[in-house]
A and B are shown apart, each in its own frame.
Chain A
């Protein structure tokens, strides 16, 4: 399942947040602590995740303590689907 989540989230972050559609993001690449994703974009990401995967994630839950890379985010989404 995680395999299906990863590419979609990666594509969204690359195209919509980083404005670099052709960019690849490693699963363990730091996203928040590295400055790639700021607090405004985090909220966009939360909305995208809710709409795309049908899970509920509060805006306040998305921060560097709950996830900082794609693998952790996918795991978070996965755990909500269960």
Chain B
């Protein structure tokens, strides 16, 4: 089963994303910040990483940079969950090696449609 790592410091977003993905049949592991995600990613492999940008401890940009250093995540799709205002952030994410982004706010359908662009 397709395994997705979700990283967001907001509980409601995390729950919504997790619920949506699980409803669509994906396996989901959720984490609250970049550091936690990185620690888990080092021991488990994922088919996709969905990460928020603004988070305490380690932000999404830093997480992408760290993940791309890992052999196992060299080509793994990583999508940033971002808001439309952060035009700079999108580019910063790309610069760090993110595959793309999902623009907040998004509906469950939009989320599923977007991730289908990179997995499967």
Q: Are both chains from one complex?
A: no
Give residues in A with beta carbon < 8 Å to B.
none
